Structure 1
Amino acid sequence: MDKHLMLNSHLLPLNIDENDMNQESDSDISSINSDIEVDEAEQ
């Protein structure tokens, strides 16, 4: 029982971290795209 509880409690933070990472990567990609657009506009 204890092992199952530990696994379950460990899986929840992992899922939350995955969602946070996805959101961060999306914002990073959008910021990179905006940087590229600025570079193209300057040229």
Structure 2
Amino acid sequence: VQVIHFIIYFTLFSFLLFRFYERSINVHTYLYIKSYLHLCYN
């Protein structure tokens, strides 16, 4: 029973971590593109 709980928690944690990582990557990409365009057009 403990092993199953561990697997479930691990899967949930990995999923949440992946979602958070994905979102932060998107934010960083957005900021990078924004600053790049700002430099180009100024």
TM-score, with structure 1 as normaliser: 0.87
Number of residue-to-residue matches in the alignment: 42
Q: Distance in 1 between matches of 2:25 and 2:9?
A: 25
How big is the shift at 1:10? 1.2
Q: Aligned ranges for residues 2-21 of structure 1 at < 5 Å?
A: 2-21=2-21
| Paired-residue identity, % | 2
Q: Distance in 2 between matches of 1:34 and 1:14?
A: 30
TM-score, with structure 2 as normaliser: 0.88
- Displacement over 3 Å in runs of 4+: none
How big is the shift at 1:31? 0.2
